[in-house]
Amino acid sequence: MAKKANQSIKLPLIDQEALSLLEKLSNAVGVSGSEGEIRTIIKQELESCSDQISVDTLGNLIAVRHATVKNAPRVMIAAHMDEVGFMLVDKDEDGIFKFQKVGGIDDRALAGKAVQVGKNHAPGVIGACPVHLSTPAEREVIMKSDSLRIDTGPGSKDLEVGDYGSFATKFHQLGSSLCGKALDNRIGVATLIQLFKNAPDSIELIAAFTVQEEVGLRGAETSAFNLMPDFAFVIDCTPANDQQAWDKSENTLYRTRLGHGPAIYTQDSRTLYDRRLIKFVTGLAQEHGIKVQLRQPASGGTDAGAIHLTQHGIPTLSISVPGRYAHTAAMVIRKSDWEDYLQLMTIVLQNINSEILTEERP
Amino acid sequence: MDEKQFISDFLKEMISLPGISGHESDISKKIGEVWQPLTDQIQLSAIGNLYGIKKASAKNGTEPARRVMMAVHMDGIGMVVERLAGDVLYFAQIGGFDPRILPGQQVLIHTETGEVPGVIAQLAPHLLSKPFDGKPVPLDQLVIDTGMTADELKEAVHPGDIISYANLPFELPGGCIAGHSLDNRASVAAVTQCLAELQRFNHSWDVYAVGTTQEETTFLSGTTVFDVKPDIAIVIDVTFAKGPGVDGYRVKALDSGPSIGFGANIHPALYRQFKALAEQLDMPYTLDPLPSMSGTDAVPIQTAFGGVPTCVLSIPLRYMHTPVEVIALKDVMRVGHLMAEFIARLDDSSLAQLVWED
């Protein structure tokens, strides 16, 4: 039985400070395998309020805040730092490079975009053949990444094969929403930074900012093994395919919907989620009047896929911010969903306790 | 200020503005402001053509002075709102472009009450007329997401609202500029450079710098000939630069200088004169074979008002009709300089030299 929430707790709002942090994180580049910029920002944010902060063999950043009570539950929250992007793999002449995608990017999202490459975020473009020089039949074919190039300008220097790149989209507000290139999963990173800064004393909080999620949940696998928490929460982004269908037929396969609050997973390709944790979280949401939605069971996965199988097994739950157009130059999330998400997770951390696991499994 | 810096700043300012075919007032206003101190008079025609008139500064006998016109189209490609569908909207195109470059682009919707930012998106397969697995999603099934709710969108945006690209320009190493609408704002910059240089030259012909409208759609620049009645017309546009996936005789390297057109659209004497002048100035240039029609304002201008001796100068540009077009600033300056040198040499015998060498 969950203890009653402390009704006096002040729930966080998405203020200018929160937006500025997300902007900084979204504009930074941290392609899978090269997450250094993101690690640096998180270190700056958390160094002064961590009891321990360290980087492990794979590059996961682990920050710990101790409980002030004995036998407090060890709660791990994982948010992956990495984003999908590109690696320069061959140099043509005149600052033009062949590239490969890192992580899952639809080839149809590439052509005609501004990009940034290398440590200094050198500008570049992924161009496309002028429409005047292609045939209608050619325009029926997808422009694949191996036929496209990154053009960094004829005078470009200091860029080499092996350098990473990303779309160059700058974070901005869009109507009631937020738009950026890497909101998957800097929204999770920004949320975890905030949760960590305001962590309750009743739990041992382990924040795991993981690497290489987009290329196979690798950072999650090693960090969970090394940390072995009692519970794990994974905070990430998940698709909202909730727009009106072209033929106006009923859209029943939306997965999640914008404006309906944090999305709680029941199952995905890798994980059948712990029903006791789902019940605990949805119960708290109801009690506190916070909007939540259950993500329709569907393919996809999060760091939970690796974490819940660690050692003897770890009870794990994924809760994601719904978002549109992940892994493109311009992802969109609704601001109100982020606020609901931050508030829900704040309440979850205030209330989590080991008794949840003594309940019988459904 | 350094002339090159001035042109670079002006060009970047121009490609930060909208100016979709048929909706050129923002860009036309900006160009008029910059041309105003470089000319004697600025005029706007009923249909939207912009005229910057610089009267002859030397008298060489012919009264009234002969007229040379430099025509550049101010408009660019864009889109228009077709219908709203819940919290997204469908759109149609203005001008020709490849829809495969669209998903992920940032745009601005120009509404009666202001600009609404949005992004172009490709919906999940189950929301399309068919899944289009392994194929590009056609333009009529791409959407724009404004981040608004359905109610907010309905209030703010209406069918017919014009849509432009929102991406801002940036520089690439090697003296290049990247952005949308460099076709044809790069040529507007070249004409501006020409006007700046003409401040230092004496010229005995009247000079008409002309910003045309709707080149990308209706080709209505023949109307400028009725207004100006030029004796010679120089059309400045962009041509295909050599780059990834684009090679062969039709393309010119970036930074290879003006590309001087020849073919049915172009008066052969003007072509020969520009080529000889580039040689004389020791300026790099390329030749641009345009066998039947140039695809520029030279098409309507050549045949308007009984016919005008017309020529075409082009600036090499990569990735034409995408929002990440690339030009070399040096080519812009060279085209401007070549035209200024040409105009300064025009005198009362120039027309007689436009002969057919049969």
Q: Are A341 and A319 in contact (CB under 8 A)?
A: yes
Check if A244 contacts B (Cβ < 8 Å): yes
Residue A10 is assigned to a structural domain of this protein: no
B246 contacts A129? CB cut-off 8 A = yes
- Chain B contacts of A96, Cβ < 8 Å? 243-244
Q: What is the rounded average pLDDT for all residues in chain A?
A: 95
B147 contacts A179? CB cut-off 8 A = yes
Residue B40 is classified by DSSP as S
The position carrying tokens 């430099």 is B70
CA distance B350 to B283: 22
Of A111, A132, A169, the CB nearest to B100: A111
Supply B152's token pair.
Answer: 């907010």
Check if A108 contacts B (Cβ < 8 Å): yes
Domain of A331, in residue numbers? 16-83+181-358
Closest alpha carbon within chain A to B322: A112
Tell me, yes or no, whether A216 and A281 share the same domain. Answer: yes
- Give the helix ranges, DSSP H, for chain B: 3-14, 25-35, 150-156, 182-198, 222-228, 268-280, 298-303, 329-345
Mean pLDDT of A225-254: 96
Shortest distance between the Cα of B170 and any Cα of chain A, in A, equals: 8
Shortest distance between the Cα of A96 and any Cα of chain B, in A, equals: 8
Mean pLDDT of A330-335: 98
Encode burial over B151-185: b for 16+ CB neighbours within 10 A, e otherwise: eebeebbeeebbbbbbbebbbbbbbbbbbbbbbbb
Closest alpha carbon within chain B to A245: B127
Of B103, B126, B243, the CB nearest to A328: B103
Determine the pLDDT at residue A117: 98
Domain end among A110, A143, A167: A167
- Chain A contacts of B322, Cβ < 8 Å? 111-112, 127-128, 130
Determine the pLDDT at residue B63: 81
Residue A217 is assigned to a structural domain of this protein: yes
Question: By C-alpha distance, which of B253, B312, B240, B258 is closest to B71?
Answer: B312
CA angle B85, B90, B94 (to 5 degrees): 155
In sequence order, the 6+-apart residues with CB closer than 8 A to the CB of A313 are none
Determine the pLDDT at residue A5: 47
Shortest distance between the Cα of A301 and any Cα of chain B, in A, equals: 17
Determine the pLDDT at residue B249: 86
Determine the pLDDT at residue A4: 47
- Chain B contacts of A126, Cβ < 8 Å? 324
A152 contacts B145? CB cut-off 8 A = no
A139 contacts B98? CB cut-off 8 A = yes
Of B99, B103, B173, the CB nearest to A155: B173
Mean pLDDT of A293-301: 94
Determine the pLDDT at residue A105: 97
Residue A269 is classified by DSSP as S
Residue A1 pLDDT class (50, 70, 90 cuts): very low
Determine the pLDDT at residue B34: 98
pLDDT tens-digit series, residues A93-103: 899 999 999 99
Q: Is the pTM of this model over 0.90?
A: yes
pLDDT of residue A362 exceeding 80: no
In sequence order, the 6+-apart residues with CB closer than 8 A to the CB of B310 are B232, B233, B234, B235, B265, B266, B267, B270, B298, B301, B302
Tell me, yes or no, whether A222 and A255 share the same domain. Answer: yes
Q: Are B288 and B260 in contact (CB under 8 A)?
A: yes
Domain end among A126, A141, A167: A167
Determine the pLDDT at residue A2: 42
- Give the helix ranges, DSSP H, for B201-327: 222-228, 268-280, 298-303
B172 contacts A95? CB cut-off 8 A = yes
Question: By C-alpha distance, which of A173, A205, A185 is closest to A63?
Answer: A205
pLDDT tens-digit series, residues A144-167: 999 999 999 999 999 999 999 999
Of B96, B143, B149, the CB nearest to A243: B143
Determine the pLDDT at residue B303: 94
CATH match for B78-165 among 1.20.1050.10, 1.10.10.10, 2.40.30.40, 3.40.50.300: 2.40.30.40
DSSP per residue, B42-111 = EEE-TTS-EEEEE--SS--S-SSPPEEEEEEE--B-EEEEEEEETTEEEEEEES---GGG-TT-EEEEEE
Tell me, yes or no, whether A189 and A161 share the same domain. Answer: no
- Chain B contacts of A147, Cβ < 8 Å? 245
User: Which class is domain B3-76+181-353?
Assistant: alpha beta
| Helix, strand, coil tally for chain B in percent (to 5) | 30, 30, 40
Half-sphere exposure of A151 (CA within 13 A, CB side): 32
Determine the pLDDT at residue A8: 58
Mutate to test the interface with A, among B129, B183, B250, B319 (most CBs of A within 10 A): B319
Tell me, yes or no, whether A257 and A288 share the same domain. Answer: yes
Determine the pLDDT at residue A3: 43
CA distance B76 to B181: 5
B96 contacts A132? CB cut-off 8 A = yes
Q: What is the pLDDT along chain B (358 residues), one digit of tens a residue?
A: 799 999 999 999 999 999 999 999 999 999 999 999 999 999 999 999 999 999 998 876 678 899 999 999 999 999 999 999 999 999 999 999 999 999 999 999 999 999 999 999 999 999 999 999 999 999 999 999 999 999 999 999 999 999 999 999 999 999 999 999 999 999 999 999 999 999 999 999 999 999 999 999 988 899 999 999 999 999 999 999 999 988 888 899 999 999 999 999 999 999 999 999 999 999 999 999 999 889 999 999 999 999 999 999 999 999 999 999 999 999 999 999 999 999 999 998 999 999 888 8
CATH of the domain at A112: 2.40.30.40
> What percentage of chain A carries pLDDT values higher than 70?
98
Mean pLDDT of A71-90: 97
Tell me, yes or no, whether A224 and A306 share the same domain. Answer: yes
Of B127, B141, B153, the CB nearest to A251: B127
User: What is chain B's alpha carbon radius of gyration, rounded to the nearest angstrom?
Assistant: 21
Mutate to test the interface with B, among A98, A325, A337 (most CBs of B within 10 A): A325
Determine the pLDDT at residue A72: 95
* Higher-scoring residue by pLDDT: B87, A4: B87
Answer yes or no: A360 catalytic.
no
Check if A330 contacts B (Cβ < 8 Å): yes
Number of domains comprising chain A: 2
Check if A84 contacts B (Cβ < 8 Å): no
pLDDT of residue A6 exceeding 60: no
CA distance A233 to A277: 9
Please pick, among A23, A213, A221, A339, the residue that the annotation labels catalytic.
Answer: A213
In sequence order, the 6+-apart residues with CB closer than 8 A to the CB of B183 are B76, B237, B238, B317, B320, B321, B325
- Chain A contacts of B149, Cβ < 8 Å? 175-176, 259
User: Could you state, in order of their start, the residue ranges of all structural domains in chain B?
Assistant: 3-76+181-353, 78-165
A174 contacts B135? CB cut-off 8 A = no
Tell me, yes or no, whether A214 and A330 share the same domain. Answer: yes
Tell me, yes or no, whether A227 and A294 share the same domain. Answer: yes
Closest alpha carbon within chain B to A168: B167
Shortest distance between the Cα of A80 and any Cα of chain B, in A, equals: 23
Closest alpha carbon within chain B to A122: B172
Mutate to test the interface with A, among B16, B172, B239, B315 (most CBs of A within 10 A): B172
